[in-house]
Amino acid sequence: MNKSSKIYVAGHNGLVGSAIIRKLESKGYQNIVKRTSQELDLRKQAAVEYFFENEKPEYVFLAAAKVGGILANAKNPGEFLYDNVMIQTNIIEASKNFGVKKLLFLGSTCIYPKMAPQPLKEEYLLTGELEPTNEPYAIAKITGIKMCKSYNEQYGTNFISVMPTNLYGPNDNFDLKTSHVLPALLRKVHEAKLNNSPYVEVWGTGHPFREFLHVDDMADACVYLMENYSYKEIGEIINIGTGEEISIKDLVDLIVSVVNYRGDIKFDPLKPDGTPRKLTDIQKLNKLNWKSRISLKKGIEETYEWYIREKKYE
């Protein structure tokens, strides 16, 4: 990629897409193409083909997707499967047809089997059953991975697939019906503080372990891989994470201290926990000389400041 290359960031308003835009702009890339879902519904094949034919992007970051937490996935499995398969299929096919030099497909660590050994190595893909609560979403993502791989093999494209761990940061989704665990907890604890609530209820036991990566670190890794490594060097997939894990209980404690909430936390063990442990093995990424830089505490502090500022809370 050079600074005047035409780069299409699909999903530029989202958590990941907006961080990729910030990173590209900060590095001096000047020719970035964006479309909202209102302007271009990526589920519509003819519209996507027309867009690629006219814009002819040279590089594509595929960060558009239908994304959500356990509740949203459980309520809308058909939508999660359909939207994601359509969005990624249309973009990957059009990228092949209109000569895109390199594409980066955003997957997720939910593609790994529920009971895979930890930490999760790239080679564990398709070695066991998936976590049932997000199986349709994971199947869509696995389809995207296999499509990139198959197109590289059949058509000689250079499409890479990255599997980021749980992300958080500015522009995250704080809607309690559809959000992931970290922004949901941040909001719940913040509102409990504002309302002087005596306690906050948290789904599950608090025992599962999770890994969290600041989205600016993740964007840095994506741009780094696009600039420096090809599909042949990366292989089918590559994890992006910190390699460090924290229990949900300890995460809640960290959030409580950042927000400065004085009430109690009540865990509801009748609600689902999801996968017991999810930590990425990041040896492959480390060998390509990339490491995350933003600590979880600093990242949560920054995200909380952003949330208060953007949501116009006191």
Question: What sign for the dihedral angle of Cα 136, 138, 141, 143?
Answer: negative
Catalytic annotation on 82? Answer: no
Question: Whose CB is nearest to ligand NAP?
Answer: 14
Position 9 contacts ligand NAP (CB under 6 A): no
| 63 contributes a contact to ligand NAP by CB under 6 A | yes
User: Cis bond leading into 119, ω under 30°?
Assistant: yes
Among 5, 31, 76, 173, binds ligand NAP (CB under 6 A): 173
Query: Which residue in the set 7, 142, 167, 255 belongs to the binding site for ligand NAP (CB under 6 A)?
Result: 167
**Please, what is the minimum distance in Å from the beta carbon of residue 38 to ligand NAP?**
6
Burial 157-166 (b: 16+ CB within 10 A, else e): bbbbbbbbbb
Q: Is 278 in the site for ligand NAP (CB under 6 A)?
A: no
The residue within the footprint of ligand NAP, chosen from 5, 143, 166, 205 (CB under 6 A), is 166
Q: Whose Cβ is closer to ligand NAP: residue 192's or residue 284's?
A: 284
What distance in Å separates the CA atoms of residue 184 and residue 19, rounded to the nearest whole number? Answer: 20
Q: Is 274 in the site for ligand NAP (CB under 6 A)?
A: no
Residue 21, CB half-sphere, CA atoms under 13 Å: how many? Answer: 18
Smallest distance from the beta carbon of 103 to ligand NAP, in angstroms? Answer: 13
> Looking at 14, 69, 136, 299, which residue binds ligand NAP (CB under 6 A)?
14
Residue from 60, 72, 87, 200 touching ligand NAP (CB under 6 A): that is 87
Residue 227 CA, distance from chain mean position: 20
Interacting residues of 175 by C-beta distance below 8 A, sequence separation 6+:
none
Report how far residue 139's alpha carbon sits from residue 110's, in angstroms, rounded to the nearest whole number: 9
Q: What are residue 112's phi and psi, to 5 degrees?
A: -85, 150
Nearest alpha carbon to residue 248 among 215, 270, 277, 271: 277
Asked if 237 interacts with ligand NAP (CB under 6 A), we say: no
Q: Measuring CA to CA, which residue among 181, 92, 65 is closest to residue 133?
A: 181
Distance from C-alpha of 281 to C-alpha of 284, rounded to nearest angstrom: 8
Stretch that binds ligand NAP, among 70-78, 160-168, 187-195, 250-258 (CB under 6 A): 160-168
Per CB under 6 A, 164 contacts ligand NAP: yes
The answer to whether residue 64 forms part of the interface with ligand NAP (CB under 6 A) is yes
Name the amino acid, one letter, at 212: F
Active-site pick, 29, 59, 112, 137 = 137
Q: Which stretch binds ligand NAP (CB under 6 A): 24-32, 33-41, 245-253, 291-299?
A: 33-41
Confirm or reject binding of residue 42 to ligand NAP (CB under 6 A).
yes
Q: Are 252 and 204 in contact (CB under 8 A)?
A: no
In whole angstroms, the minimum distance from the beta carbon of 198 to ligand NAP comes to 31
Q: Quick one: which segment of 13-21, 200-208, 249-257, 279-287 binds ligand NAP (CB under 6 A)?
A: 13-21
Residue 305 gets which letter from DSSP? H
- DSSP string covering 78-112, please? HHHHHHHHHHHHHHHHHHHHTT-SEEEEE--GGGS
* Residues in touch with ligand NAP (CB under 6 A): 11, 13-17, 36-37, 41-43, 63-67, 83, 87, 106, 108, 164, 166-167, 173, 180
Instruction: Return the active site residues.
Output: 137
